[in-house]
Structures are given as structure tokens and as C-alpha cells.
Structure 1
Amino acid sequence: MRLTAYGCLLAALMAMPIGAVAQETRNPGIEATILGQFDAFKAQDFGRAFTYASPTIKGMFGTAERFGMMVQNGYPMVAQPSSVRLLELRSVAGGLWQRVMVTDQGGRTHILDYQMVETPEGWQINAVQLLPDAGVGA
């Protein structure tokens, strides 16, 4: 049920009007949040990984264990990546989205968008969207 709710949240965010997309400069706080969560997942420290989630995400999953299970089952490339590379940070419809390239343990590359929100605790992850594979073109 929670995985479905997470998917519904992502679908709702995707359905929002995009408006102008502006390229932003790098944001060290956003980068530290995303990379910190990846480090926590690599260490299988779901409690620490959960601290990087926004209040909305924390409310959806309730516990670090449920959150960790969702990530392991729905985003295995995030749970145990081989490599992570931060790409561009963009402003979309007033929100900040950090694009991330993740290579999984099998050598496959995945592109994800992380919606970031600034809270009193600092930058937190409010949504993660796995982008469709663009395929190979000429």
C-alpha cells in the first residue's frame, strides 16, 4: 500500500505543469543530502537513510524499516549502487530537482530525479522519480 502511495505521489508530481525549466548552479547542501542517503543505504543503515527524507515521505512510510524495504524492493539501484554521479540541478515549476546517474551492481545505468525541499533540518528528499530509459540512438 505504501509503495502504491509513493507511486501516486510521483505520478501527481509528474502531472504538474512544468512551466519554465531553469538550470541552477550546484548546491552543496543538496548534494550532501543525496550522497549522504546513498552512503546510508550502502551501509544498510535505514535509520540514517530515513533522516534524509522529507516530512511528507516520513509520514507516508512511518518507519525507517518500511522506507528501507520500499527502497530495496522498488529502487534496488539506490539501495546498493555501484556508482553515483550527480548531474544537473534544475528548477521546475518552483521546485528544485537534482538529476542523478546511478550505475547498479549489474553495470546498468539509471537516471533518477530527486525533488528537494528545504526544511528547518536542512535539505531533504521529497520524491524520487526513475526516468524512462532513453535507449541508444544514433
Structure 2
Amino acid sequence: MRVAVLLVALSIAFSPIAAFADDVTTAQGVIRAQEQAFGHDDAATAYSYAAPAVRQIFPAPDIFMSMVQNGYAPVYRHKSFEFGDSKTEGSSIAQRVHIIDANGEAWEALYTLEQQADGSYKITGCSLLKAGQAV
């Protein structure tokens, strides 16, 4: 009986960790899918991962893609794109990405994502800093 109670207690205690890990994995999948869409110059698919607030600022896929090409070149074209630390808070996830750009320079991107009413995650923003720069 004690073993059964212990097993139930452990499963309850660790279920938020599993949910957290699933959410982070889902969010990383969204970021990776958008990154691959950029690599294929697929503006419509890349745009589909943007949160509604981002879509209000950039009301069409071609406008969004132009912004990424001009303001986020290391995200748009790179040699390396690897996930770092992540943090969840409520329905939001912050995900660090280590990027080596097309010229071999290191960058740090901080993506933010928010869970939507349908349960999906959409990208709400991306901050980009050259590695080693102070915030």
C-alpha cells in the first residue's frame, strides 16, 4: 500500500516537469519549423508561426520576411542554430538559441513564445545580440 501511495505521489510531483518538457519541446519545434521555412524562403510558412501581435505589425508574409532578412540576418541565414536554456512562466516560454551566422560570427537569440487559445505556441518576439555583447 505504501508503495502505491509513493508511486502516486511521485507521478503527481513529476507531472508538471513532464508538462514543462513537452511545452519546451513543442516551442522548440515551432522555432525550428520557422527557421527551416526561412531557409527555404517560404514566407507564408514562416509567417504562420508568428503570434497575432506580430502579424498586426507585419500584416503580410512578404513584409514579415523582408523584416527578417534585413533585421535578423543571422536568423535568416546561418551555419549553426542550436537551442540553449529555456524558461517557462505561465503560458509563455523564453528559449535561447546559439547561432553562428553565414560569416562565422556567434550570436545569441532569445525567442519568446506564447500559448494560444487553441493550445499551439506562436512566436511573440526574437531579440538578437552578438555573442559577448552586454545587454
TM-score tier, shorter chain, comes to 0.7 to 0.9
**TM-score normalised over the length of structure 2:** 0.76
Matched, 1:100 2:97: yes
Q: Distance in 1 between matches of 2:75 and 2:126?
A: 10
Counterpart CA distance in 1 for 2:91 and 2:28 is 19
Does the CA-based 8 Å contact 1:25-1:89 persist in structure 2?
no
| TM-score, length-scaled by structure 1 | 0.74
Gaps of 5+ in 1: 1-23
Note the alpha carbon deviations across 1:22-77, whole angstroms, 9 max, x for none: xx647211010000000000000011000010000011100000000000000001
What is the identity percentage for the equivalent residue pairs of Structure 1 and Structure 2?
25
Q: How does 1:72-83 map to 2 (within 5 A)?
A: 72-83=69-80
For structure 2, the residue ranges without an aligned partner over 5 or more in a row are 1-19
Paired position in structure 1 for 2:120? 122
User: After the TM superposition, which parts of structure 1 deviate over 6 Å for at least 4 consecutive aligned residues?
Assistant: none
Superposition deviation, residue 91 in structure 1: 3.4
**Bigger fraction of residues in helix:** 2
Aligned residue type for 2:129 = L
Moved more, 74-83 or 90-99: 90-99
Contact 2:109 2:127 in 1 (8 A): yes
Match of 1:60 in 2: 57
Two-structure CA RMSD over aligned residues (Å): 1.9
Q: Does 1:31 align with 2:28?
A: yes
**Which structure has the higher relative contact order (CA within 8 Å, separation 6+)?**
1
